Amino acid sequence: MKPTLRTGLLALALGISGAAAHADITVYTAGPAGLAKALAADFTKESGIKVNLFQATTGKVMARLKAEQANPQADIVISASWATATSFADQGLLLPYTSPNAATVPDFLKSDSYVAEGVAALAIAWNPKSGTNKPTDWADLAKPEYKSLVTMPDPAQSGSAFELVAGLDAAGHDDLFPALAANGMLVAGANKAALTPVLQGAKAAVFGAVDYIAMGAKAKGESIDVVFPTSGTVVAPRPMMILKSTKQADEAKKFIDFVLSDKGQEDVAKVYLMPARTDVEALRPTITELKLLPQSSDAYAKRGEILADFSKSFGH
């Protein structure tokens, strides 16, 4: 009896340890770092699956993925640009998956191989202490009172800034950037690099600020207002996608499920993004409350051309 009992206990112990064992997953994500860490920690607490994070700008995430093409390391990519997901899908790089938690995500924020984590919008972030009049539209920032007082994220580094440039281009506002360049607008790296001098009072406004970042700064007591331009803006859904090269497909699917769960979407809302699910409360204006510019359907295909025209406006 004793050998049988020992054998049975050993088998039970091995079964338990095997059931508890999970492969780690690796997530590459473009901002915000606080949200990425919260989602990773909450997911690990719930599932026992460890998340290895690489958080950077969209440009750096894309560069790392390209460098690792021969030996892919990421299981999941979360981008600040919707065009990333559509391009990856067209190239056959994504694993098809529809989460059961995506039922209340609007159709335009999901496909059979990617889904929005949350949604940002592009806006003007204005410092009320700057001594300038509060702007109401994009063109206001080309007025003389804003001479050399405006910053903008570089659309070559910021996926959301690229979405705005593409949207304004599609709407026929092709004269706006030469006017802003002539007025001394500074194109300053990624989103944080553009916002920091405005928060510090060295500049007056950000053209194309990611709204949730500025809202988060205001909630912490910073002197900043978020203005949604009267002529319209663009939204920047943050797509999540599982790479077809993953060796941890089951664990990756569980992560997508978690981000779209009640808890995951509450984490998204806490950083002032719009939740992807319509049945989770937002802490800021949602798509139905914003005037939107027409979205360019071929923005990513024309990325090089759009960025070249933008650079020419600034004499580069």
pLDDT above 50 for 10: no
Same domain, 43 and 30: yes
Supply the pTM of this predicted model: 0.83
Same domain, 67 and 113: yes
Instruction: Express each pLDDT in 95-111 by its tens digit.
Output: 999 999 999 999 999 99
Decide if 10 is inside a domain: no
pLDDT above 70 for 19: no
| pLDDT recorded at residue 204 | 98
pLDDT above 80 for 316: no
Domain count, the chain: 2
Cα separations in angstroms, 110 against 89, 138, 242, 253: 12, 30, 13, 15
Range of the domain at 280: 22-118+237-286
pLDDT above 90 for 264: yes
The DSSP code sequence of 235-270 is: EEEEEEEEBTT-S-HHHHHHHHHHHTSHHHHHHHHH
Same domain, 210 and 73: no
| pLDDT recorded at residue 314 | 86
pLDDT above 50 for 13: no
Instruction: Point out which residues pair with 30 in neighbouring strands.
Output: 56
CATH, residue 159: 3.40.190.10
φ/ψ bin of 131: left (φ > 0), alpha (ψ from -120 to 50), beta (otherwise) = left
Instruction: Express each pLDDT in 168-226 by its tens digit.
Output: 988 888 789 999 999 999 998 888 899 999 999 999 999 999 999 999 999 999 999 99
Q: Taking the C-alpha atoms of 286, 287, 291 and 297 in order, what is their torsion angle to the nearest 10 degrees?
A: 150
pLDDT above 60 for 8: no
Is 97 part of any known ligand binding site? no
